[in-house]
Amino acid sequence: PVIYVVTPTYPRPTQIPELVRLAQTLMTVPNLFWIVAEDAPILNPRVASYLDGTGICHAYLAAPMPESYRGELKTPRGVSNRRAGMDWIRKHVTEGVMYFADDDNTYHLDVFEEMRWTKKVSMWPVGLVTHLGVSSPVVIDGRVIGFYDGWIEGRKFPVDMAGFAVGIPFFLSKVDAEMPYRAGFEEDGFLRSLEISVDDVEPKADNCTKIYVWHTRTQKATPAPKIATNITHFTDSNLSAL
Ligand code: UGA
Ligand code: MN
């Protein structure tokens, strides 16, 4: 089966380096299609040409977050992007597996082979999530019986976005499946909309004993104007160049 990786991305100084790191992982994975969905009204030609150069089969979509959410204290990051990716899959695909891969996480190649034979929904641990350091399904005798996560908050599926994949035929059978614009509850809302029970979850990564993906986060790049105000030893000509 082909893995359809849906990656939300957005314009900022670290965007291209994030995409380079992720692309150099994905280009080694066979039978993979990359759907890159950007939180912007128009496509960035530099991103487009970078993606073309990777040789990875891909689609590059513009998927701006609705303006009404942008002002919120906690914005639902990456939701418009993932929704656009799902719309694209609904339109173009009948087989395979869907995986939401944020542009800043770290992916071991084995995670892709673990998810490849997903029937409904498969899950595995994600490292570096909350103060507990890992978020994972709890597995007994090969069945998922609950979840270990530092932020339960009434969620039926307290898991990270990087910790599950969905079989596309199953996804397509759930015509009302959707990801909510609700910060912190995107995964839970989406998984509930698939109408699965905890018992349906297919545990991967050696019954969830191995970590193959980490929720790493990239430090924000310092904007150039700030550097100028913090540095005092430039010559006048250097300063005027800034
Ligand atoms: C983490 C937590 O999981 C969030 O609950 C929390 O709100 C956030 O940190 C925070 O406190 O800042 P994380 O998932 O790591 O969120 O956030 P990002 O990696 O910044 O965004 C997730 C995905 O959405 C990424 O692929 C990113 O490229 C994309 N994104 C982010 C957008 O498309 N638009 C944005 O404005 C921000
Ligand atoms: Mn992130």
CATH classification at residue 102: 3.90.550.10
The overall average pLDDT reported for the chain is 94
Residue 187 is a catalytic residue? yes
Give the chain's domain count: 1
Query: In a 10 Å sphere around its CB, with 0-12 CB exposed, 13-18 middle and 19+ buried, how is residue 148 labelled?
Result: middle
**38, 114, 186, 187: the active-site residue:** 187
Decide: 182 in ligand 1 pocket, CB within 6 A.
no
Decide: 184 in ligand 1 pocket, CB within 6 A.
yes
5 Cβ neighbours under 8 A, 6+ residues apart? 26, 32, 33, 34, 35, 99, 101
Q: How confident is the model at residue 236 (pLDDT cuts 50, 70, 90)?
A: low
Query: Residue 227: what pLDDT?
Result: 46
Condensed to tens digits (0 to 9), the pLDDT of residues 20-62 reads 999 999 999 999 999 999 999 999 999 999 999 999 999 999 9
Q: Which ligand is nearest to the CA of 188?
A: 1
- Indicate which atom in ligand 1 lies nearest the CA of residue 38: 33
The CA 16 to ligand 1 mean position distance, Å, reads: 16
Query: Residue 138: what pLDDT?
Result: 98
Query: In a 10 Å sphere around its CB, with 0-12 CB exposed, 13-18 middle and 19+ buried, how is residue 48 labelled?
Result: middle
Instruction: Please determine, for residue 234, whether its predicted confidence score (pLDDT) is greater than 80.
Output: no
**Is the CB of residue 38 less than 8 Å from the CB of residue 60?**
yes
Query: Residue 95: what pLDDT?
Result: 98
- End-to-end Cα, the chain, rounded Å: 52
Query: Residue 71: what pLDDT?
Result: 84
Map residue 215 onto helix, strand or coil: coil
Listing from the earlier edge strand, what are the strands of the sheet with 126-127? 106-107, 213-214, 126-127, 134-140, 143-148
What whole-number distance in Å separates Cα of residue 56 and Cα of residue 54? 5
Q: How confident is the model at residue 228 (pLDDT cuts 50, 70, 90)?
A: very low
What whole-number distance in Å separates Cα of residue 208 and Cα of residue 143? 10
Query: Residue 225: what pLDDT?
Result: 52
Decide: 66 in ligand 1 pocket, CB within 6 A.
no
Decide: 14 in ligand 1 pocket, CB within 6 A.
no
Decide: 85 in ligand 1 pocket, CB within 6 A.
no
Condensed to tens digits (0 to 9), the pLDDT of residues 126-171 reads 999 999 999 999 999 999 999 999 999 999 999 999 999 999 999 9
Interval 74-82 mean pLDDT: 97
Query: Residue 230: what pLDDT?
Result: 43
**Is the CB of residue 132 less than 8 Å from the CB of residue 153?**
no
Q: How confident is the model at residue 72 (pLDDT cuts 50, 70, 90)?
A: confident
Instruction: Please determine, for residue 207, whether its predicted confidence score (pLDDT) is greater than 70.
Output: yes
- Indicate which atom in ligand 1 lies nearest the CA of residue 37: 33
- Indicate which atom in ligand 1 lies nearest the CA of residue 65: 34
The CA 160 to ligand 2 mean position distance, Å, reads: 10
CA dihedral angle for residue 181, residue 217, residue 35, residue 50, rounded to 10 degrees: 140
Decide: 10 in ligand 1 pocket, CB within 6 A.
yes
Q: Could you give the ipTM of this predicted complex?
A: 0.90
The CA 122 to ligand 2 mean position distance, Å, reads: 21
CA distances from 242 to 13, 80, 160, 222 (A): 17, 36, 41, 15
Instruction: Transcribe 75-96 into DSSP letters.
Output: --TTHHHHHHHHHHHHHH-SSS
Residues of the domain holding 141: 3-241
